Amino acid sequence: MIEVNIVGTGNVAWHLAKALGSQNQAILMQVAGRSIEKLENFNNIARETVSIDHLKPADVTIIAVSDDAIESFSEQIPFDNSLVVHTSGFTAMSTLSRKHNKGVFYPLQSFSKEDTSIDFTEIPILIEAEDPKDEKTLKTLAAIISNNVQVINSKQRRQLHLAAVFANNFTNHCYTIAQELCDVHGVPFDTLYPLIQKTTEKALQQGPKNSQTGPAKRDDKQVIDQQIKLLTDPDHTAVYKNITKAITHFYGKEL
């Protein structure tokens, strides 16, 4: 039985706590945070909610706070020589305070408050630890809530997090621009839903390189020039020009 603490009361802390609370192989001991109001959400899931000064050692203490607060929170933990991990894709393991046995427990998903039903079993958990014994503990803990556990180092995790920015944040903003174009011109955005679903399905089934289509891939300058003229927002124009250039270069190289 693995005893777990969580430091933090945000989205990642909440979804992790819920996943840990809904199984029997690990126990969520304490959730620590600064806001009594936010801690109340965890009352029914953790054995105890506390301020960080009252945190007691557990097998694993998971710091699930924003990147820039990880270092400070890891210093504030009132015990040492116990396994402390953070949940960030971006932050190096070395950012954690030296007084702890360090590790990383990175669930690769975009968590938001609106998500009431996250299926943690599908979410990859990327593990790192200084000590092989700690790595084993983290693998065991991760496997309790996820079917996809991998060990990767800080450098790989950083690149994976950057890849996730392209695959999530940037694709989503392309959808936002598409919606703006539809809204402004009185076309229902949901007309694009089957295309959006097919795009994702094809990228996952046959690989994005094999499913690229469109004027940029064909280097169809006439269509590209006319589409640029249709755009009125300079940010949209810049995005259009740059991705089009990137696609043209990418497939031009292959010819």
Residues 169-188 that bind a second copy (CB under 8 A): 169-179, 181-182, 184-188
- Residue 94 binds a second copy, judged by CB under 8 A: no
Q: On the CB side of 22, how many CA atoms lie within 13 Å of its CA?
A: 13
Least Cβ distance, residue 50 to a second copy (angstroms): 28
Residue list 34-63, contact with a second copy (CB under 8 A): none
Q: Which of 43, 75, 225, 238 binds a second copy (CB under 8 A)?
A: 238
Kindly state whether residue 69 participates in binding a second copy, applying the rule CB under 8 A.
no
Pick from 82, 140, 154, 227 the residue near a second copy by CB under 8 A.
227
Q: Does 148 bind a second copy (CB under 8 A)?
A: yes
Question: Which CB, 24 or 210, lies closer to a second copy?
Answer: 210
Our finding on whether 204 is near a second copy (CB under 8 A) is yes
User: Is 156 a residue that touches a second copy (CB under 8 A)?
Assistant: yes
**Count of residues in contact with a second copy, rule CB under 8 A:** 90
Q: Shortest approach of a second copy to residue 233 CB, angstroms?
A: 9
Which residues have a Cβ under 8 Å from the Cβ of 41 and sit 6 or more positions away?
9, 14
Q: Is 221 in the site for a second copy (CB under 8 A)?
A: no
Q: Which is nearer to a second copy, 99 or 161 (CB)?
A: 161
- Does 166 bind a second copy (CB under 8 A)? Our answer is yes
| Among residues 50, 143, 151, 239, the one that binds a second copy under rule CB under 8 A | 239
In the complex, least distance from residue 167 CB atom to a second copy, rounded to whole angstroms: 4
Shortest CB 96 distance to a second copy, Å: 18
What values do phi and psi take at 51, rounded to 5?
Answer: -80, 160
150 binds a second copy (CB under 8 A): yes
Is 212 an interacting residue with respect to a second copy (CB under 8 A)? yes
C-beta of 65: minimal distance to a second copy in Å? Answer: 14
3-class secondary structure for the chain? CEEEEEECCCHHHHHHHHHHHCCCCEEEEEEECCCHHHHHCCCCCCCEEECHHHCCCCCEEEECCCHHHHHHHHHHCCCCCCEEEECCCCCCHHHCCCCCEEEEEEECCCCCCCCCCCCHHHCCEEEEECCHHHHHHHHHHHHHHCCCEEECCHHHHHHHHHHHHHHHHHHHHHHHHHHHHHHHCCCCHHHHHHHHHHHHHHHHHHCHHHHCCCHHHHCCHHHHHHHHHHCCCHHHHHHHHHHHHHHHHHHHHHC
122 binds a second copy (CB under 8 A): yes
108 contacts a second copy (rule: CB under 8 A): yes
Cα–Cα distances in Å, from 91 out to 7, 46, 104, 233? 16, 26, 9, 34
